[in-house]
Structure formats: structure tokens, C-alpha cells
Copies of this chain bind each other. A is one copy, B any other.
Amino acid sequence: MRNEPNPEQGFSPALTRLAALAPLDAGDVAAIQQLARARSAISARREIMTEGKAIRERQILLSGWAYRVRSLRDGRRQILGFLLPGDLLGNCRQANPVAVTSVMAMTPVEICPAPTPSESDGGLAQAYAVSGAIDEHYLYRQITRLGRLSALERIADWLLEIRERLSLSGLTVGNRFSLPLTQETIADTLGLTSVHVNRMLQTLRRSGALEFTGGSVTILDEDQLSQMVDVPPVRVSQ
């Protein structure tokens, strides 16, 4: 989760993801790396953005996990989605936007300002646009998951999604990836209780579909998981 150069590409996870979304030229990469030096660290459980408050600028999540959340007055809360390295915060089109949801740091998080795309280079602008479209895709997927999948299917679908996303920034090792969440948090993501999440995870573990220890998950039987759910490919551009 640290921001050391990836031996394969020489890129940090965040840069790996952005470069995968659109062809970035050397100037784009340099601009991001330049701003990444001015990164700021946020500790776990701290609020990164507050619902209703102004968004200053577009930012890149460099490391760590964050999440969007809506809380109800009676204490119920729904986690709307996670923000992973390479994801953008405040990626909107308006002049004076306010945050439509709060964003909290799940783990310690590092963020930096995102370079403003210049007129000439479309690479960065395209990466931002594609990132926004992917975000939208995952929102629709989350709605479908909550509305029409069973508890077991929700977990399977969601784990496959998280792996797919982490994989894009090079944060998976084979079928293994780190998952720094409590079962309570997973429950608030999938619209379940932590007790039920626990039981369903055990079902998956006993069936040999996956392994989870400490903060990481290994998908042992991907076919079994994907047969439980429709696995829609992410396509956002021609």
C-alpha cells in the first residue's frame, strides 16, 4: 500500500491505475509525480470530505482505503462505496460543488492534488472522465447488488469487484489482496448485519471458494464465485 515505485512499471499504484485508464504522456506522468510529492497524510477514521461542504479541488488517493458513507439519524449507516489508490476525489464538473456524501479514511490515507489538464493534452482529462464513468458503473452495480442479490451473492460479487479494482492499480498478488475492513464494515457496505456476514463468509470459506486471514483475502475458486453472480465487464468507452 506504500507508494514505492512498482518494479514492473516503475509506477505507484495510483499512477498505475490512471495510466491504465487513458494514455498518459511523459508530461502528465511528471505532473502527477510532482504533485504527489506534496501529498498529505490523513489518519484512519478521519473525515476527508464532509457532506454539504465545498469541494476545493480534484484530488488523487495515493494510498490507503477511504469510503463514502451516508449515516441515518438513528445510527444506521450505509457505506456507498470504497475509494482505492488511484481513485479520484472531487472529480466533478461544476464550478462550486459541494460534496454529496461524506468521505472517511478507513486506513491511514495519502492524497495529493490532481493536476489540472491543460488544453492541449487530452490524456489526463480523458483519464478523469473514464474514472468518473467507472465510478458510475460501480454505483449501478452496488444498487443491483443491494436490490437483487442474496447475502451470499452480494459478498461474492463485491469481493470480485474489489479484486478487479485493486488489480487495476497493481495491488493484487495473484488471487490475493489485502482487505483492511472489519466484518461490521462489510455489513454496512452490503446492507447486512455483521453476524450474517460472518456466517456467509464461513460458508464461502468452507466451500473452498476463498480464504481470509487477518487483513487479506485469497480467492481460491474464482469460478465458484462468478457462477454465483453475473459478472458484467466494465466498459465505459468505445
In the bound complex, what is the Cα–Cα distance between A122 and B96 (angstroms)?
A: 13
Known: A140-B68, A142-B143. A237 touches B94 (CB 8 A): yes
A93 contacts across to B, CB distance below 8 A: 93, 128-129, 132-133
Contact A100 B133 (CB under 8 A): yes
Nearest B-chain residue to A137, judged by Cβ:
B100
Chain A residue total in the interface (Cβ 8 A): 47
Q: Nearest 4 pairs between A and B by C-beta?
A: A147-B191, A146-B146, A93-B129, A96-B238
Contact A146 B191 (CB under 8 A): yes
Tell me how many chains of this kind the complex includes: 2
Q: Check A54 for interface membership: any CB of B closer than 8 A.
A: yes
Q: Check A26 for interface membership: any CB of B closer than 8 A.
A: no
Interface readout for A45-57 with B: 1 if CB under 8 Å, 0 if not? 0000000101000
Contact A77 B230 (CB under 8 A): no
Closest CB in chain B relative to A47 CB, distance in Å: 16
A190 contacts across to B, CB distance below 8 A: 147
Nearest B-chain residue to A154, judged by Cβ:
B147
Contact B133 A80 (CB under 8 A): no
| B-contacting residues, A45-92, CB 8 Å | 52, 54, 68, 70, 72-73, 76-78, 80, 92
In the bound complex, what is the Cα–Cα distance between A22 and B142 (angstroms)?
A: 30
Nearest B-chain residue to A132, judged by Cβ:
B93
A139 contacts across to B, CB distance below 8 A: 136, 139-140, 143
A144 contacts across to B, CB distance below 8 A: 70, 72, 78, 80
